[in-house]
């Protein structure tokens, strides 16, 4: 019995050392002052989104948690207000699988809030099926959306030149969040220990988004791709300006935007996706 306990203790110690030794944890160099700034964080009730919202609230920002589930969103907002002492944290309902919900959220926000300074497009899902507008949610489409995010930031930066609005695509790293709650049951006994050992936690995964949202001097890199809080060069398809433009134009058609006489809404100072 004693040897069994000793062996288990040594195994646990080795596991913990490996966990902390193999994972990288980039951190913000300092905590910026964000009082008077308003931020939207999509998917802000859990995971990377909640960690991002928590840190922005600690910096004094007014933070809107834009998420689908009202009870979870309200609970997350209360938790962040309590932990930070920042009363300017609120929930607004947004289901990104519904263009009707997206339009309703945008209208409500513009009526309620005079300014938007930071937009953190954090929400993600990989569950299968389709949205109410007929867009596909299988796993491969989730993977393809990562390339689309990088291309979208590239084209958005081109269209926003001269406006003082900047945008960045970020890779948070491999992060152990609820995104993997739909992992098949037979795979979880293998996957979950590996995720705990090798993957970042949510607070660590939030660092690159926070870096791009708050650090001064990055403006000249608008439209570029960041990982581990550093500028990175993505694969060649993600640097294709013609592909980025074609994706933008196709996206406008799919969501019903960009028609004659349609004026864009006021843009935030920084967009992170």
Active site residues: 142
Comparing C-alpha atoms, which of 145, 122, 141, 114 is closest to residue 130? 141
As to burial, measured by CB atoms within 10 angstroms (0-12 exposed, 13-18 middle, 19+ buried), residue 151 is buried
Handedness of CA 74, 178, 174, 238 (dihedral sign): negative
Q: Would you list the DSSP string of 67-91?
A: ES-HHHHHHHHHHHHHHH--S-EEE
Burial (CB count <10 Å: 0-12, 13-18, 19+), residue 86:
buried
- Tell me the backbone φ, ψ of residue 93, rounded to 5 degrees: -75, 135
Q: What share of the chain is helix, strand, coil (3-state, %, to 5)?
A: 50, 15, 35
User: The tokens 């919900």 sit on which residue?
Assistant: 101
CA distances from 25 to 56, 157, 164, 171, 226 (A): 18, 28, 31, 13, 15
State in Å, rounded, how far the first CA of the chain is from the last one: 52
Specify the residue for token string 């979950």.
192
CA within 13 Å, CB half, 138: 1
């Amino acid at each position: 019995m004693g040897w069994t306990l000793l062996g288990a203790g040594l195994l646990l110690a080795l596991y913990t050392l490996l966990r902390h030794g193999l994972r990288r944890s980039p951190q913000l160099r300092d905590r910026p002052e964000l009082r008077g700034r308003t931020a939207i964080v999509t998917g802000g009730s859990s995971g990377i989104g909640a960690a991002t919202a928590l840190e922005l609230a600690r910096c004094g920002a007014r933070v809107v948690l834009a998420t689908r589930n009202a009870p979870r969103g309200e609970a997350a907002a209360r938790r962040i207000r309590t932990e930070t002492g920042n009363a300017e944290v609120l929930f607004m309902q947004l289901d990104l699988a519904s263009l009707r919900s997206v339009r309703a959220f945008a209208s409500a926000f513009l009526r309620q809030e005079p300014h938007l300074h930071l937009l953190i497009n954090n929400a993600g899902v990989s569950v299968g099926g389709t949205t109410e507008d007929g867009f596909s949610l299988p796993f491969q489409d989730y993977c393809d959306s990562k390339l689309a995010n990088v291309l979208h930031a590239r084209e958005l930066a081109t269209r926003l030149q001269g406006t003082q609005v900047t945008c960045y695509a970020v890779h948070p790293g491999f992060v152990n969040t609820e995104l993997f709650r739909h992992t098949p049951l037979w795979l979880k006994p293998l996957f979950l220990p590996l995720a705990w050992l090798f993957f970042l936690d949510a607070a660590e995964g939030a660092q690159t988004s926070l870096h791009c949202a708050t650090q001064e001097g990055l403006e000249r890199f608008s439209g570029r791709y960041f990982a581990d809080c550093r500028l990175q060069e993505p694969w060649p398809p993600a640097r294709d300006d013609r592909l980025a433009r074609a994706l933008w134009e196709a996206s406008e058609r799919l969501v019903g935007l960009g028609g004659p006489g349609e004026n864009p809404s006021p843009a935030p100072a920084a967009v992170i996706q």
